[in-house]
Amino acid sequence: MFTKTNKRRNIRTVPLFIFVSASLLLASCAPVAAPTAVEKEVTRVVKETQVVKETQVVKETQVVKETQVVTQTQIVKLVYGNLPRNETLIIAGTASNDVWDTFSMMSGPLTNAYSGYQQVGIEQAFLFAGGKYYPYLAQKWEYNKDGTEMTLYLTTNATWNDGKPVTIDDWTFTLDYLHANKDKGVPFGTMLDTTKYRTDGTDKIIFSFFDAKDPKKAVPNWRFHQSIASFVPLAKHVWEGQDPLKFKNNPPVEAGPYKLVSCNADTKTCIWQRRDDYWKKDEKLSPKYIVFTRQPEPDLLTQDLISGNFDLSQLNAKLATTAVMPKNPNISMVEWPDPCPRQLMFNMEKAPLNDPAIRHAMSLLIDRERAGKLDNPAAKPGVLPWPYQGDPTSPFVDPADLKNYDVGVFDPAKAAQVLDDAGYKLVDGKRVDQNGKPLSFSIMTFDPSVHGAAVNGFPQMMAEEAAKIGVEILPKVVEVGVFFDNAQKGNFDMMYQWVCGAPQDPLAAYSFLHSRYYKPIGTATGFGQHLGYKDPATDALIEKVEQGNPADPALADTYKQLFHTVTSQWLYVPLFSLYQGFPWNNEYFTGIKNQVEPWYWMYQFRGMLMYIDPTQK
């Protein structure tokens, strides 16, 4: 019985084993060469490389590479195929998505912010950098006397990178196109709901503003230039008839100074080449090529930086100063303040957080100095809801408010005093409210890998201090998605937030407090504020600022009143001003400025490109 079956088996065993393994191996390898997606990519890139040059050059490159290692002479190193290193600026970014074949900003947030498209591909009306507007596709703007009309003067000699001129037709096409697609959530899509435009047919567009409910009623809008500055007109001959959410605009036809050479989803690398026919002749554009690639994990990035593979990237300052800079003297650290200082928000719909005294005490319990040091570079203790360089003096702030309401002050003893005065007594080591309920609050933050360690650390330090005065604080670190879900539903006691006021016009630091954004707890829809705050007096102040002219010095008083409202009631309290650190490689390009604009932040990149110099190496 055994023998019979076994004999039959004997023959099959080994071949079957080999056959199975081999066929599985084959099956797994086959698709590598087969899928059409890859082939599609091949043809595209091959077509594009005609711009550069073909096989002969590549062969030379390899020879040069080898000799360079041996002789160490003046021969220029070649990178990314055949780009001379000394003419190539290499940026390693932290793209949050995988969009490497689409060059469009129509899909709102779903664009790749690190492909170089928004940095050097596009051209905006103006560049706002260092508190100044620089003219690009538009030259200047003029408001009429009462601010109900604004005239925009366009640049007339601009050209698209396919050689065609940028005309006023492209502008009006774009305005109408965006409006027609407003239900798809395109940028500026709703602008024409409250704005009309007319042109003189050559270089002037006149915008007039009206009330959304009553189109005949003209209203002032003194901030229109702030939004139109980032307007990017579309090439009519490219975009006409396209679905904004599906059109890939590849290769991108834009008016910016660099043209796409190739963009590869496998290596996450886009190569851009300076346009010889760029229309703005006085623009300083040192790098001939700019490469945008994705930066690897910190340990590997460190090695890349030591080898000088990247000119600009984002890295923990501690790592840069201890591991990179001693080994590569060309690297220096650049820091810039995050445009949105972090704040602690309260759910004022929940008692007893509706009592300003509690919020005051909470603010006094935050050791901003110590928590800030957890970050590299260290986060600075926050005072104002907009970025500032250490000195909180501002025309929009009354210094007395800073002192009277302990803005940014850490003083646990005073916190206990405040609570005592407000009637929160200590019973058996626990502080209770009027109903005898112990004080206990949670603080919602999210993972430190997203916004740094200080954000993760301060609630735990606060909990320690609060315990000493009989208050329970529960740090609640949640996943990012849970954070936003809870924030939208008002499902929190206190939460960490960021407020992005502009130093010149800090409207955004207050506008979200307007009752029109108020949403009661539990309503998940919409992006309003779930802070439980409604106050007609504050509404009136916000409306006054909204309709006022930011250039008008009289507005500063209203701003001061708003700052007073927030600080005297502790509607929200400052945490930190975060700093971001970037290692910069001075070997090929130099002159980077410290403590200025965020370099990588989309179009802001151009602010940096304006002044860096090649090292002539």
Considering only residues 443 through 482, tell me which ones interact with other proteins, judged by CB under 8 A. Answer: 446-449, 453, 456-457, 460-461, 464, 476-482
Q: Which of 65, 237, 318, 617 binds other proteins (CB under 8 A)?
A: 318
- Kindly give, in sequence order, each residue whose CB lies less than 8 Å from that of residue 95, ignoring residues fewer than 6 positions away: 112, 113, 114, 115, 268, 294
Q: Does residue 56 touch other proteins according to CB under 8 A?
A: no
236-243 contacts at long range (C-beta below 8 A, 24 or more positions apart): 236/169, 236/170, 236/173, 236/174, 237/164, 239/173, 239/174, 239/177, 240/173, 240/177
Residue 25 has phi, psi (to 5 degrees) of -60, -45
Q: Does residue 81 touch other proteins according to CB under 8 A?
A: yes
Q: Which of 6, 389, 523, 568 binds other proteins (CB under 8 A)?
A: 6
Q: Which region among 233-241, 258-266, 342-350, 552-560 touches other proteins (by CB under 8 A)?
A: 258-266
CB of 118 to other proteins, least distance (A): 9
CB of 358 to other proteins, least distance (A): 23
CB of 410 to other proteins, least distance (A): 13
81 to each of 52, 53, 58, 294, how far by Cα in Å? 10, 11, 7, 17
Q: Does residue 540 touch other proteins according to CB under 8 A?
A: no
Q: Which of 101, 433, 535, 546 binds other proteins (CB under 8 A)?
A: 101
Q: Is the dihedral of CA 235, 240, 242, 244 positive or negative?
A: positive
How many helices (DSSP H) and strands (DSSP E) are in the chain? Answer: 18, 25
Q: What is the DSSP code (8-state) at residue 322?
A: I
115 to each of 94, 97, 367, 415, 473, how far by Cα in Å? 10, 10, 39, 49, 43
Q: Does residue 100 touch other proteins according to CB under 8 A?
A: yes
Dig out the tokens for 272 from the structure.
């851009």
Residue 422 has phi, psi (to 5 degrees) of -85, 0
Q: Which region among 35-43, 348-356, 393-401, 428-436 touches other proteins (by CB under 8 A)?
A: 35-43
Q: Which of 109, 241, 329, 429 binds other proteins (CB under 8 A)?
A: 109
Q: Closer to other proteins at the Cβ: 18 or 413?
A: 18
Per-residue contact string for residues 234-253; x = within reach of other proteins by CB under 8 A: -----------xx-x-----
Residues within window 384-413 making contact with other proteins, judged by CB under 8 A: none
Q: Does residue 233 touch other proteins according to CB under 8 A?
A: no
Q: How far apart are alpha carbons 164 and 154 in whole angstroms?
A: 16
Q: Does residue 323 touch other proteins according to CB under 8 A?
A: yes
Q: Which residues pair with 584 in a beta bridge?
A: 312, 332
- Kindly give, in sequence order, each residue whose CB lies less than 8 Å from that of residue 512, ignoring residues fewer than 6 positions away: 499, 528, 529
CB of 597 to other proteins, least distance (A): 13
Q: How far apart are alpha carbons 522 and 519 in whole angstroms?
A: 8
Q: Does residue 523 touch other proteins according to CB under 8 A?
A: no
Q: Which region among 92-100, 154-162, 328-336, 549-557 touches other proteins (by CB under 8 A)?
A: 92-100
CB of 526 to other proteins, least distance (A): 5
CB of 371 to other proteins, least distance (A): 6
Q: Closer to other proteins at the Cβ: 254 or 355?
A: 254
Q: Closer to other proteins at the Cβ: 46 or 540?
A: 46
Burial of 594 (0-12, 13-18, 19+ CB in 10 A): exposed
Diameter of the chain by CA atoms? Answer: 107
Residues within window 340-379 making contact with other proteins, judged by CB under 8 A: 340, 367, 370-371, 373-376
Residues within window 170-189 making contact with other proteins, judged by CB under 8 A: 183-189
- Kindly give, in sequence order, each residue whose CB lies less than 8 Å from that of residue 411, ignoring residues fewer than 6 positions away: 364
Q: Does residue 67 touch other proteins according to CB under 8 A?
A: no
Dig out the tokens for 512 from the structure.
């979200």
Q: Which of 15, 35, 131, 329 binds other proteins (CB under 8 A)?
A: 35
Q: Which of 284, 525, 536, 554 binds other proteins (CB under 8 A)?
A: 525
Q: Closer to other proteins at the Cβ: 88 or 567?
A: 88
- Return the number of other C-beta atoms located less than 10 Å from residue 12's C-beta: 10
Q: Does residue 562 touch other proteins according to CB under 8 A?
A: no
Q: Distance between terminal CA atoms of the chain? A: 84
Q: Does residue 503 touch other proteins according to CB under 8 A?
A: no
What 3-state DSSP class applies to 44? helix
How many residues touch other proteins under the rule CB under 8 A: the total is 126
Q: How far apart are alpha carbons 528 and 612 in whole angstroms?
A: 41
CB of 46 to other proteins, least distance (A): 6
Burial of 17 (0-12, 13-18, 19+ CB in 10 A): exposed
Q: How far apart are alpha carbons 520 and 533 in whole angstroms?
A: 10
Q: Does residue 319 touch other proteins according to CB under 8 A?
A: yes
Q: Does residue 267 touch other proteins according to CB under 8 A?
A: yes
CB of 448 to other proteins, least distance (A): 7
Q: Which of 15, 31, 131, 329 binds other proteins (CB under 8 A)?
A: 31
